[in-house]
Amino acid sequence: MKATVHVSLKVGVLDPQGKAVGDALGRLGFDEVGAVRCGKTIELELKDGLSKADAERRVKEMCEKLLANTVVERYSIDIG
Amino acid sequence: MKSAVIVFPGSNCDRDAQTALRQVTGAEPAMVWHKEGALPNKLDLIVLPGGFSYGDYLRSGAMAAASPIGDAIRAHAARGGYVLAICNGFQVATELGLLPGALLRNASLNFTCRPQPLAIATNSSAFTAGYKEQREVSFPIAHHDGNYFADAATLDRLEGEGRVAFRYIGNPNGSARDIAGVLSENGRVLGLMPHPERAMAGQEGGNDGVKLFESLMAAA
């Protein structure tokens, strides 16, 4: 079983990397681009035999304990 | 004063802290490798040093906060021990939950390395009492992720409780309300991005850091 965790800065937290990427896209002529936000993806291989509900519960715990800093970041989890 | 410096893989100011402590206390600090599960007994002060622990993997300070020594650091703080958390150490301290807020990428995106003037925001803390009437200091800064962030309610509380220790004069990194250093609720944990241990009357950096360590000596 695979879990994918997406972590990004919360709305309202300044994302200078996203802004720099947005500025660069503008310079390259991609005028349709507005705000850009950067985040990261973490892929986890989980042991087989775990129920989807258990996997979600455990991965949420991992996010709260290590994978995300919920003071400034939000996260979402995809299982499967 | 009995002190210890925690050494993480990628710490690079651990020896600066060791030298500063030796200079001021006259005693040798314990250098404690992060894989140790325990700290020396009857410790007055822990220094979480600057550097790039674990190569800043995941987030600055996040991996170090999850290392085996983490629980012992929390226990030391919980029983009222002093913690001086400098630069990467400040990032580790927020990740450990010893201090509120977080350190984000500098708003300029630049790694900023220069002498930094600071206003002493409180001179009634164990870390700053020795500065007495002095209003300003200059400590070196050298960081990429020093942009202090906390929600407005937390910032209001920190200011209301006199827990802002230092403010930048000329904000170098986008920190909320120019905050360069904050204190824990009991005033025993200080986290700051600038480096007092690099301002110890050596060949560079001036000597403004000496009084911070002397203040701690007097308090501990």
Kindly state whether B102 is in contact with chain A, defined as any CB-CB distance less than 8 angstroms.
Answer: yes
Q: How high is the pLDDT of residue A14?
A: 87
Q: How high is the pLDDT of residue B200?
A: 96
CB contact under 8 A, A14 and B59: no
Q: Taking 90 as the threshold, does the pLDDT of residue B203 lie above it?
A: no
Q: How high is the pLDDT of residue B101?
A: 98
CB pairs under 8 A between A and B: 35
> Active-site residue B197, yes or no?
yes
Per DSSP, helices labelled H in chain B are: 14-25, 62-65, 70-78, 88-96, 152-160, 210-219
**Residue range A53-72: mean pLDDT, rounded:** 97
**Residue range B199-207: mean pLDDT, rounded:** 86
From B13, B34, B76, B87, active-site residue: B87
Distance from CA of B201 to the nearest CA of A (A): 36
Distance from CA of B144 to the nearest CA of A (A): 12
Tokens of A29: 């002529």
In angstroms, the Cα distances linking B183 to A67, A80, B64, B123 are 26, 44, 20, 12
At B36-70, the pLDDT tens digits run 988 999 999 999 999 999 999 999 999 999 999 99
Q: Taking 90 as the threshold, does the pLDDT of residue B30 lie above it?
A: yes
At B136-176, the pLDDT tens digits run 999 999 999 999 999 999 999 999 999 999 999 999 999 99
**Residue range B77-95: mean pLDDT, rounded:** 98
Distance from CA of B135 to the nearest CA of A (A): 31
Q: What is the pLDDT confidence band of residue A12, given thresholds at 50, 70 and 90?
A: confident
> Active-site residue B87, yes or no?
yes
In angstroms, the Cα distances linking B162 to B59, B102, B157, B158 are 28, 19, 8, 6
Q: Taking 80 as the threshold, does the pLDDT of residue A9 lie above it?
A: yes
Nearest to A72 among B102, B106, B174 (CB): B102
Chain B residues whose beta carbon lies within 8 Å of the beta carbon of residue A20 = 109
Q: By CB neighbour count within 10 A (0-12 exposed, 13-18 middle, 19+ buried), where does B203 fall?
A: exposed
